[in-house]
């Protein structure tokens, strides 16, 4: 046999292995704050992952174009997780070694896996609008920041909206609500809250899981055809959302009785269905498509105008692009808050960034200067409250674009707080951890 | 020249029957194990340990278990992910529900539960063979997927089916740093590797191989197919279950049923096929290939400082990885382990081939 070629192959393998073992942690250079970017530009969820990633990276470029963060340049590196938990953990390990001081895992499954790891690595984990709902309890989860809302607040707002539509929470009794969900930690997360609410109001909750990636939903919609629920909550991601809408069209289920979570309410979800999806509602994580906002115009001028844009120019300002933008902004503002305490123009470490995120205070004035007026409401976090804000509203697809269709809602703390507390306590016991003391909050 | 057994005379049966009859093999393996225990922890970065070496060790243990079933006993199984899940979740339940349960005992008992489960799903193998059996074991996989997702009791009523465990403490040794975890897994792999090697070269292993090669002939010469097949399922699922428990407890720390889905089963089967059916060494080669090559490929552009689009990089990694699989299967259908032994044969004659 060709022994020579074999030796070559072996030598190549040995060299690459050696290179892997010898990778030394490249420390962040002076005056450079490293932002890891966990994204998925490939795989089944890429249509939704790409606009998010573009918005995220564009914001970092935008900050650099404006001279960095008090003079500190932001550097970043992407790692493609493909929405797979094991790959996400690998990406985390890879970018952690390069001096990462905060992570956006962009997947609830990855968040679950990383929650344990950040504890030892001392790196804050920002999960804006996703992740573990119980991590809103900052006294238990020191390093997790589910900023702007969790799936429990999302589900709560949806129930409130429906109660209002029906003319009062007591009218929910006997109503049938079906949750069509992505069968992953993401989709299962709201179940606990919906069960709690169904006990409270006496509505009938049926759970209809859809397996990854969500293209095959015939069986689910057969059940819906039979049971005819009054409302459907759609907890899908990626291709699952448009598949669900197409099935709804085929089944003849009224789209205006369907309510998606904020990850099921963007352009890629409805574009394929187009006019047929008219009337479909989804939560907005405060913002919708914001093409007229100041920040979008600034980015078009300073980033895309200079040929530095990450994605197609037309998609700037779409829903998921804005989500990425806001996520990046929250991280950057966390670092800025940390700088204000630990020294402006310095490079922050994980512990300092955590302090900054915990003491985030974006009031209306601050949002105006950042260019986010009208895009989101003020948010402020504290030691005990790592979520900062649970405001949300709904938007509706009119066949060609998303438009807001409801007032602002706030999740009901009376219901959510005890649940968060109980779940966090259970986690503490399982992991044999202690709650933080108030002295730790300084 | 270097690898030649001239002058190594066996003067006793023990000497002739040892695991590695050739001295060079003994030294090489000894040196490898020593290096794994001493040198690797000294030089490997945290990333290499956590992302490459720990998954490699645990999955080679699982591949070793599967190789006993598929490679030595000839029973194709697609339920490996399910057996791993049984190991992980039963270890988790024992650990969480029984106060003061030692971690190592929980992991081993996880293996015992997986063993019972494996034997149960091995019973069809007495009647059906080959690909039909593969389909039957698929049932085990789907049953586990379903059970750990839907039966709340098994996941301790966690709201989204995810469970997590605290750091392991073994006789005062807290296994939390990557090096600790690596050594913890390495000990398991070495112990189980030696045990498996001894099993397959003893009479049990010979029975398995006889059944694999021709079960009718085997039963004619007095081998009980029931015992041979079920014992292969038992040993295999025990090792796979322990690997599953390690995967959950040591590598992931917190996990959901998707960590042990059908893709895991396929991955492990590919490891065994690419590494070499019926070879202990092959399990390690296969695991190394499937675990490390994609990650290395994904990292290559970065190491060489080539600016490349993230999406393009991961597409390229997929394509190159796929073609490498095809390449190796064409060059040597019997797996990487066969290449290894061809290499050794060549070395015996080198530099004077005749």
Residue B31 located in a structural domain = no
3-state helix, strand, coil in chain A (%, to 5): 50, 15, 35
- Residues A267, A403 within the same domain: yes
Tell me if residue A276 falls in helix, strand or coil.
helix
Minimum-distance CB partner of B256 among A78, A112, A191? A112
Last residue of a domain, one of A367, A385, A403: A385
How do beta strands A73-80 and A32-39 pair?
parallel
ipTM, 2 decimals? Answer: 0.84
Residue A425 located in a structural domain = no
- Residues A192, A326 within the same domain: no
Lowest average pLDDT, out of A51-60, B270-279, B345-354, goes to: B345-354
- Residues A143, A169 within the same domain: no
Residue A347 located in a structural domain = yes
Cβ neighbors of A92 (< 8 A, separation 6 or more) are A36, A38, A103, A105, A110, A114, A117
B326: which 2 tokens?
């095809």
CB contact A42 to B (< 8 Å):
yes
Residue B170 located in a structural domain = yes
Q: Checking phi first, is residue B330 left (phi over 0); if not, alpha (psi -120 to 50) or beta?
A: alpha
Q: What is the DSSP letter of B248?
A: I
Segment B225-228 long-range contacts (CB within 8 Å, at least 24 positions apart): B225/B126, B226/B126, B228/B73, B228/B204
Residue B28 located in a structural domain = no
Tell me if residue A361 falls in helix, strand or coil.
strand
Residue B285 located in a structural domain = yes
- Residues A112, A217 within the same domain: no
Do B51 and A89 make contact, defined as CB atoms within 8 angstroms? yes
Q: How far apart are CA A159 and CA A198, in angstroms?
A: 9
Domain enclosing residue A331, as ranges: 26-149+290-385
Query: For the segment B86-105, what is each residue's pLDDT rounded down to a tens digit?
Result: 999 999 999 888 888 888 99
Do B48 and A20 make contact, defined as CB atoms within 8 angstroms? yes
Residue B69's alpha-carbon distances to A341, B231, B273, B297, B309, in angstroms, are: 61, 9, 12, 31, 42
CB contact A29 to B (< 8 Å):
no
- Residues A169, A143 within the same domain: no
Which pLDDT value is given to residue A280? 93
- Residues A163, A280 within the same domain: yes
Q: How far apart are CA A428 and CA A417, in angstroms?
A: 16
Which pLDDT value is given to residue B159? 67
Domain enclosing residue B131, as ranges: 52-349
- Residues A181, A83 within the same domain: no
Q: How far apart are CA B307 and CA B285, in angstroms?
A: 31
Tell me if residue B45 falls in helix, strand or coil.
coil
- Residues A39, A120 within the same domain: yes
Residue A121 located in a structural domain = yes
Structure-model confidence comparison of residues A11 and B27, the more confident one? B27
Which residue positions in chain A have pLDDT lower than 50? 1-3, 16-29
Residue A240's alpha-carbon distances to A90, B136, B317, in angstroms, are: 26, 30, 26
- Residues A138, A180 within the same domain: no
By CB atoms closer than 10 A (0-12, 13-18, 19+), residue A93 is: buried
C-beta of residue A404 within 8 angstroms of C-beta of residue A394: yes
Which pLDDT value is given to residue B1? 62
Residue of A nearest to B92 (CA): A430
Which residue, among A45, A85, A95, A112, would best test binding to B if mutated, counting the most B CBs under 10 Å from its CB? A112
- Residues A178, A311 within the same domain: no
Provide the domain count of chain A.
2
Which pLDDT value is given to residue B238? 96
The answer to whether residue B66 scores a pLDDT higher than 60 is yes
Mean pLDDT of chain A: 88
Q: How far apart are CA A266 and CA A55, in angstroms?
A: 14
Residue B238 located in a structural domain = yes
Residue B106 located in a structural domain = yes
Cβ neighbors of A197 (< 8 A, separation 6 or more) are A155, A156, A159, A203, A415
Distance of residue B253 Cα from the nearest chain A Cα, in angstroms:
7
Q: How far apart are CA A394 and CA A195, in angstroms?
A: 22
Residue A37: phi and psi, rounded to 5, are -125, 100
B119: which 2 tokens?
């034997």
Provide the domain count of chain B.
1
3-state helix, strand, coil in chain B (%, to 5): 75, 5, 20
- Domain at A175, CATH number: 3.40.50.2300
C-beta of residue A118 within 8 angstroms of C-beta of residue A124: yes
- Domain at B185, CATH number: 1.10.3470
Residue A426 located in a structural domain = no
- Residues A168, A231 within the same domain: yes
Residue A212 CA, chain-centre distance (Å), reads 18
Which pLDDT value is given to residue A323? 92
Give the model's confidence band at B117: pLDDT under 50 very low, under 70 low, under 90 confident, else very high.
very high
The answer to whether residue B293 scores a pLDDT higher than 50 is yes
Which pLDDT value is given to residue B102? 87
Helix H segments across B165-309? 178-201, 203-213, 215-220, 225-246, 262-275, 280-303
Residue A6 located in a structural domain = no
B347: which 2 tokens?
């070395």
C-beta of residue A419 within 8 angstroms of C-beta of residue A196: yes
Distance of residue B126 Cα from the nearest chain A Cα, in angstroms:
33
Name the residue among A227, A196, A223 with its Cα closest to residue A209: A223
Residue A438 located in a structural domain = no
Cis-peptide, bond into residue B95, ω within 30° of zero: no
CB contact A401 to B (< 8 Å):
no
Which pLDDT value is given to residue A28? 42
The residues that bridge with A144 in the sheet, in sequence order, are: A125
Mean pLDDT of chain B: 89
Residue of B nearest to A24 (CA): B45
Distance of residue A379 Cα from the nearest chain B Cα, in angstroms:
27
A418: which 2 tokens?
């005890």
Residue of B nearest to A86 (CA): B259
Residue A431 CA, chain-centre distance (Å), reads 25
Report the share of chain B in percent with pLDDT over 70: 99
Which pLDDT value is given to residue A12? 53
Residue A17 located in a structural domain = no
pLDDT, average across residues B262-289 = 91
- Residues A328, A315 within the same domain: yes
Residue A361 located in a structural domain = yes
Distance of residue B129 Cα from the nearest chain A Cα, in angstroms:
30
Which pLDDT value is given to residue A116? 84
Cβ neighbors of A216 (< 8 A, separation 6 or more) are A210
Residue B251: phi and psi, rounded to 5, are -80, -50
């Amino acid at each position: 046999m060709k022994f020579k070629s074999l030796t070559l192959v072996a030598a190549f393998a040995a060299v690459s292995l050696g290179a892997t073992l010898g990778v030394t942690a490249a420390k962040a250079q002076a005056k450079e704050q490293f932002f890891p970017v966990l994204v998925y530009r490939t795989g089944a969820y890429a249509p939704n992952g790409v606009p998010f990633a573009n918005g995220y990276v564009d914001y970092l470029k935008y900050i650099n174009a404006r001279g960095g963060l008090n003079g500190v340049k932001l550097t970043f590196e992407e790692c493609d997780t493909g929405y797979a938990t094991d790959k996400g953990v690998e990406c985390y390990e890879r970018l952690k070694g390069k001096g990462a001081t905060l992570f956006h895992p962009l997947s609830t499954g990855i968040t679950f896996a990383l929650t344990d790891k950040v504890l030892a690595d001392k790196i804050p984990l920002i999960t804006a609008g996703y992740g573990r709902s119980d991590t809103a309890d900052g006294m238990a989860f020191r390093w997790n920041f589910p900023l702007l809302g969790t799936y429990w607040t999302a589900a709560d707002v949806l129930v409130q909206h429906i109660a209002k539509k029906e003319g009062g929470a007591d009218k929910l009794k006997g109503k049938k609500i079906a949750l069509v969900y992505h069968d992953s930690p993401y989709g299962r997360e709201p179940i606990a809250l919906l069960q709690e609410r169904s006990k409270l109001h006496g509505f009938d909750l049926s759970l209809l899981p859809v397996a990854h990636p969500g293209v095959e939903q015939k069986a689910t919609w057969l059940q819906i055809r039979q049971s005819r629920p009054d409302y459907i909550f759609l907890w899908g991601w990626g291709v699952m959302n448009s598949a669900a809408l197409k099935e709804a069209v085929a089944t003849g289920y009224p789209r205006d009785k369907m309510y998606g979570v904020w990850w099921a309410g963007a352009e890629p979800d409805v574009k394929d269905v187009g006019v047929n999806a008219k009337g479909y509602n989804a939560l907005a994580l405060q913002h919708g498509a914001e093409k007229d906002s100041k920040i979008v115009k600034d980015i078009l001028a300073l980033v895309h105008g200079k040929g530095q844009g990450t994605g197609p120019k037309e998609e700037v300002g779409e829903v998921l692009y804005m989500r990425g933008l806001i996520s990046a902004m929250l991280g950057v503002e966390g670092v800025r808050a940390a700088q204000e305490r630990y020294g402006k123009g310095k490079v922050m470490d994980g512990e300092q960034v955590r302090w900054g995120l915990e003491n985030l205070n974006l009031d209306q004035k601050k949002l105006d200067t950042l260019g986010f007026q009208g895009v989101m409401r003020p948010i402020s976090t504290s030691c005990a409250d790592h979520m900062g804000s649970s405001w949300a509203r709904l938007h509706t697809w009119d066949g060609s674009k998303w438009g807001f269709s409801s007032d602002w809602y706030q999740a009901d703390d009376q219901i959510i707080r005890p649940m968060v507390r109980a779940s966090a306590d259970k986690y503490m016991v399982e992991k044999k951890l202690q709650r933080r003391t108030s002295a730790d909050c300084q | 020249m270097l690898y030649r057994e001239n002058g190594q005379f066996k003067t006793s049966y023990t000497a002739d029957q040892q695991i590695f009859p050739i001295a060079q093999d003994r030294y090489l393996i000894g040196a490898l194990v020593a290096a794994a225990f001493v040198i690797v922890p000294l030089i490997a970065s945290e990333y290499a340990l956590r992302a490459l070496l720990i998954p490699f060790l645990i999955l080679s243990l699982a591949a070793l278990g599967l190789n006993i079933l598929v490679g030595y006993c000839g029973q194709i199984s697609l339920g490996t992910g399910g057996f791993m899940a049984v190991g992980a979740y039963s270890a988790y339940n024992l650990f969480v529900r029984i106060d003061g349960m030692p971690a190592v005992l929980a992991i081993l008992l996880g293996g015992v539960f997986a063993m019972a489960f494996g034997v149960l799903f091995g019973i069809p193998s007495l009647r059906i063979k080959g690909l039909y059996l593969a389909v039957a074991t698929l049932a085990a996989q789907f049953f586990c997927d379903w059970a750990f997702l839907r039966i709340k009791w098994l996941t301790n009523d966690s709201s989204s089916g995810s469970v997590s465990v605290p750091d392991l403490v073994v006789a005062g040794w807290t296994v939390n740093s990557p090096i600790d975890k690596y050594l913890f897994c390495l000990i398991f792999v070495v112990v189980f590797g030696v045990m498996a090697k001894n099993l397959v070269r003893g009479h049990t292993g010979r029975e398995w191989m006889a059944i694999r090669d021709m079960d009718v002939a085997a039963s004619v010469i007095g081998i009980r197919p029931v015992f041979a097949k079920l014992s292969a399922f038992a040993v295999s699922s025990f090792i796979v279950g322990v690997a599953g428990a390690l995967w959950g407890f040591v590598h992931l720390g917190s996990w959901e049923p998707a960590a042990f889905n059908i893709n895991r089963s396929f991955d492990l089967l590919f490891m065994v096929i690419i590494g070499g059916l019926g070879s202990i060494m092959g399990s390690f080669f296969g695991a190394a290939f499937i675990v490390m090559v994609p990650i290395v490929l994904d990292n290559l552009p970065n190491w060489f400082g080539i600016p490349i689009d993230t999406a393009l990089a991961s597409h390229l990694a997929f394509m190159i990885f796929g073609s490498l699989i095809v390449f190796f299967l064409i060059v040597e259908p019997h797996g990487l382990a066969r290449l290894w032994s061809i290499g050794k044969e060549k070395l015996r004659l080198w530099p004077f081939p005749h």
